[in-house]
Structure 1
Amino acid sequence: MFGTLKPQAPDKILALMGEFKADTRQGKIDLGVGVYKDPTGLTPVMRAVREAEKRIWDAETTKTYTTLIGEPGYLSGMSRMVLADALDTDRTAALSTVGGTGAIRQALELARIGNPDLTVHVSDPTWPNHVSILNFMGLPTATYRYFDDATRGGDFEGMKADLARARKGDLVLLHGCCHNPTGANLTLDQWRQVSEILDRTGAVPFVDLAYQGFGDGLDEDAAGTRLVVGNAPEALVAASCSKNFGIYRERAGVLLAKVADPAQRDLAQGTMSFLNRQTYSFPPDHGARIVMTILEDAALTADWKAELEEVRLGMLGLRQQLAAELRELTGSDRFDFLEHHRGMFSRLGATPAQVQKIKDENAIYMVGDSRLNIAGLNRDSVPILARAIVEAGV
């Protein structure tokens, strides 16, 4: 049986991680892997997370299972954090998942059960694992224009034209904020226009909200999601706690499903419970309990928000510094898009050959499509990257 297995295409980002680790050059810079790093190059444990874990350690008396859908306090806390006033509790089912990726997979399984003939519309470009999961599941996909390579900004007119072709019952996969891999976000007015298109076509919004708090702020980053979900009769949201709580390895995610009628909520919730049972039975609890502990305590919530804001402003400062360095070196404003993008990522606009040159000559690693992780920089490495970009002829 196992002799018939075929080699799988390697994940390019994971392969890049391995290549970076094997590089023995001093001063090498990793801008490939999508993990936040502080100025020292570490991914720290947040203060509120440490305190929450201490409280859990002191109070926990058992390691028995929680429920198939997860801890109710976690689900309600995350639902409020993501949707705020757009949350209709009578019409929203929630599920604890294995990270944001697990939420994406369960959302697609739920949607396929509800409409076996759906097509999933994804942005061009999108997070590579979106496409990988969709292809593995055998789900039909269509792409919609999103990014203008010439301006390094959004192609909103192209996006609108492509989304208008979606059919009733299709899924439209949207990045809630901090678009991965481009860093180019929709404005709130553009979100309104997307919502109107979805309303006309009958397509269902499916928002991947992986970076809430990394762009313009917790509420600001969720504003588009809240607008679209609030206006839609049906919607799906996959949210991750990996980045904004810094608990990557704990794999805490949540899936929210808004149904058209309150009478359908229990049916959706039961189906989501069934999907967890078939996939991994009970969801992991530790990360979810950390988040729940923080969100249920005003002092911990305040400290977490303060540290998250430090992280956000730090990345924004690096963007501003890099844009300024490139403006000075080139005598032009063609890299100012870096300052306007949000989140950890931007697509630089370099060719694969230029990316390779930057890696070979400067030990600076980024994904082949020139996606770079801003959070992999610090004040000292920004000038090094800027010079490498210019010397590569980007």
Structure 2
Amino acid sequence: MYHLNLAPADPILGLNDAFNADPRSDKINLGVGVYKDAMGRTPIMTAVKAAEGILLNDETTKSYLGITGNAALPALAQALLLGNDHPLLGNPRVKTAQAPGGTGALRVAADFIAKANPGATVWVSNPTWANHNAIFEAAGLTTAVYRYYDASTQSLDEAGLLEDLQGVAANDVVVLHGCCHNPSGVDPSAQTWAKIADIAANKGWMPLVDFAYQGFGAGIDADRQGLLELLKKDLSLLVAASFSKNFGLYNERIGALTLIDQDAATAEAAFSHIKLSIRANYSNPPAHGGAIVATVLGSSELRNQWETELTQMRERIADMRTGLTQGLAARGVDRDFSFIQSQNGMFSFAGISPEQVDRLRSEFGVYAVRSGRINVAAITPTNLDPLCDAIAAVL
């Protein structure tokens, strides 16, 4: 019936399989992008536990949700994205559908783009999240890359970025990481975001903001700065948001796709096709994750508790960035790693080669993606010193 060769292992999930099979007790997993606390666990947030208690007591049915998911979630998700005082809140130009994770939101966006503008090229940063190309290509779209990260300076290639975006054709789509760029941890400044918005407005391409880490950069409000700069230009755009990281809801698969269009009638027509894409894909989303997020965001007490916990998570990551930088310097490494402290979010390009990554794995049981991307959130006070020793040794 079919003749297929063995598909290649996913570069990140396959790495996790190898880590799990490693018998060494002192192994360190810096590959898979999940938050870890100081004990190396991926915890359930206290606010989430409290919300689940409320749901357990109050839930009366397990019937299907509608196509767009939890009825309370769109308004709450929009306020989180845009801020409580943004003039677009409540505007019929803005439409939101719950999705199974940020990945699900991206796939629905891809299907919508393929139907609304089948000739569009989708531009992604170089580098970008490993699954971006696969998602858009699976929807039948062509992808291309724009310059983003300068490995020689461990910083944003602003000149290359802006030059490439100037060359994007009208009606193409550009995927922009809202904050905490994955995999580099390097984000544009507010001034650079304003330049990106100007180019999008002048050239006529559509931004698709992948907003997977709100709250993990400089804070919930500061992390939306890039999105707000785009909206100052009255652009039509899509936002694929994930609640996996900032609510710790990885296995609940909860995200949202938000469409912002030029006017209410255009938004309504476009959103009707987004709903058709959802119906043909998974019909309607799973309920539990969306109910948790809506319960937390809809309660001032739980919202405050959640924000406090999110701040603690963000600050722990920052502490590990500082610890790694100082630990390498203390070991006499002949290289400046201070750039790690200027990056945002869970990830960093650590400035190590694929060959050095291989040595870290084989000699020290330290698992990282061969590009040199590490999950800083997986560093703990316990494994920090062994990790610094290992990196110093391979350098």
TM range (shorter): over 0.9
For 1:51 and 1:364, the matched residues in 2 are separated by 36
User: Does the Cα contact within 8 Å between 1:204 and 1:235 map onto a contact in 2?
Assistant: yes
**Bigger mean CA deviation after superposition, 307-316 or 136-145:** 136-145
Give the C-alpha shift of residue 86 in structure 1.
6.0
Q: Supply the distance in 1 between the matched residues of 2:61 and 2:308 (Cα, whole angstroms).
A: 32
Aligned pairs for 1:12-31 (under 5 A) are: 12-31=11-30
Per-residue deviation, 1:328: 2.3
TM-score (norm 2): 0.97
How far did 1:126 drift? Answer: 0.2
Q: Is it true that 1:87 corresponds to 2:57 in the alignment?
A: no
Distance 1:266 1:164 in 2: 30
2:136 pairs with 1:134:
yes
Q: Distance in 2 between matches of 1:65 and 1:272?
A: 18
322, 325, 328: which is aligned to 2:324? 322
Q: Distance in 2 between matches of 1:127 and 1:333?
A: 27
1:239 match: secondary structure = strand
Q: Which amino acid aligns with 1:290?
A: I
- Whether the aligned pair in 1 keeps the contact of 2:107 and 2:139 (CA below 8 Å) is no
The equivalent position to 1:233 in structure 2, one of 225, 232, 235, is 235
**What is the rounded CA distance, in whole Å, between the counterparts of 2:61 and 2:87 in structure 1?**
36
Residue 58 of structure 2 corresponds to: 59
Q: Deviations over 1:136-190 (max 9, x none)?
A: 2331111111001111111010000111011111101000011000011111111
Kindly state the Cα deviation for residue 208 of structure 1 after the two structures are TM-superposed. Answer: 0.2
User: 2:111 & 2:226 partners in 1: Cα distance?
Assistant: 24
Give identity over the alignment, percent.
39
The question of whether the paired residues in 2 share the 8 Å contact of 1:179 and 1:343 is answered with: yes
Matches within 5 A, 1:370-389: 370-389=372-391
Q: What's 1:294 paired with?
A: 296
Whether the 8 Å contact between 1:93 and 1:268 is mirrored in structure 2 is no
Query: Which whole-Å CA distance do the structure 2 matches of 1:153 and 1:188 have between them?
Result: 15
What's the CA shift string for 1:269-292, capped at 9, x where partnerless? Answer: 211111111101111111000000
Which aligned segments of 4 or more residues in structure 1 are displaced greater than 4 angstroms? none
Q: Which of 274, 281, 284 is equivalent to 2:283?
A: 281
In structure 2, distance between residues paired with 1:357 and 1:98: 37
Match of 1:143 in 2: 145
Deviations 1:120-146 (A, max 9, x none): 111000001001212323311111110
| Equivalent residues of 1:45, 1:246 under 8 A apart | yes
Q: Is the 8 A contact 2:333 2:392 kept in 1?
A: no
RMSD: 1.3
Corresponding residue for residue 307 of structure 1: 309
Give the Cα separation in 2 of the matches to 1:53 and 1:220. Answer: 29
Other-structure match for 1:268: 270
2:10 corresponds to? 11
Q: State the shift of 1:329 in Å.
A: 2.1
Bigger helix fraction: 1
CA contact (8 A) 2:74 2:95 kept: no
Contact kept? 1:195, 1:232, Cα under 8 Å: no
Alignment of 1:73 with 2:64, yes or no, is no
Cα distance in 1 for partners of 2:333, 2:362 equals 26
The superposition leaves residues 312-360 of structure 1 with CA deviations (integer Å, 9 ceiling, x where unpaired) of: 0000010011111122223656100100101110011211111011111
TM-score normalised to structure 1 length: 0.97
Which residue identity lines up with residue 268 of structure 2 in the other structure?
Answer: D
Counterparts of 2:326 and 2:233, CA distance in 1? 40
Provide the rounded CA distance (Å) in 2 between the counterparts of 1:156 and 1:328. 32
Distance 2:361 2:343 in 1: 23
Bigger CA drift: 220-229 or 322-331? 322-331
Equivalent-residue separation in structure 2 for 1:28 and 1:349 (angstroms): 21
Contact 1:86 1:229 in 2 (8 A): no
Is 1:121–2:120 an aligned residue pair?
Answer: no
- Structure-2 separation of matches of 1:324 and 1:13: 28
Structure 1 stretch displaced more, 36-45 or 377-386: 377-386
Correspondence for 1:179: 181
Distance 1:34 1:390 in 2: 23
Alignment equivalent of 2:223, drawn from 210, 221, 224: 221
**Residue of structure 2 equivalent to 1:365:** 367
Amino acid at match of 1:388: A
Q: Secondary structure of the equivalent of 2:72?
A: helix
Report the Cα offset of residue 383 of structure 1: 2.0
Which has the larger displacement, 194-203 or 229-238?
229-238
Do the aligned partners of residues 331 and 361 (structure 1) sit closer, same or farther apart at CA in structure 2, a change above 3 Å counting?
Answer: closer
Q: CA deviation at 1:70?
A: 1.1
Q: Provide the rounded CA distance (Å) in 2 between the counterparts of 1:188 and 1:325.
A: 31
CA deviations on 1:33-79 (whole Å, 9 max, x unpaired) are: 00111111111100010010010110111111121111221111011
Whether contact under 8 Å (2:114, 2:139) holds in the other structure is no
Which residue of structure 2 aligns with residue 167 of structure 1?
169
Structure 2 residue 201 is the aligned partner of structure 1 residue 202: no
Distance 1:82 1:65 in 2: 26
Of the three residues 183, 189, 192, the one matched with 1:190 is: 192
SS of residue in 2 equivalent to 1:63: coil
Match of 2:98 among 93, 96, 99: 96
CA distance in 2, matches of 1:147, 1:233: 25
Counterpart secondary structure, 1:71: coil
Q: Which amino acid aligns with 1:246?
A: G
SS in 1 for 2:92: helix
Q: What is the alpha-carbon distance in structure 1 between the residues aligned to residue 147 and residue 351 of structure 2?
A: 16
2:352: which partner in 1? Answer: 350
Q: Does the CA contact (< 8 Å) of 1:86 and 1:227 recur in 2? A: no
| 3-state SS in 1 of match to 2:175 | strand
> In the alignment, which residue of structure 2 is the partner of 1:212?
214
Number of aligned residues? 392
Aligned to 1:244: 246
- What per-residue deviation string (whole Å, max 9, x for no partner) do you get for residues 87-120 of structure 1? 3522111111110000001111112222111111
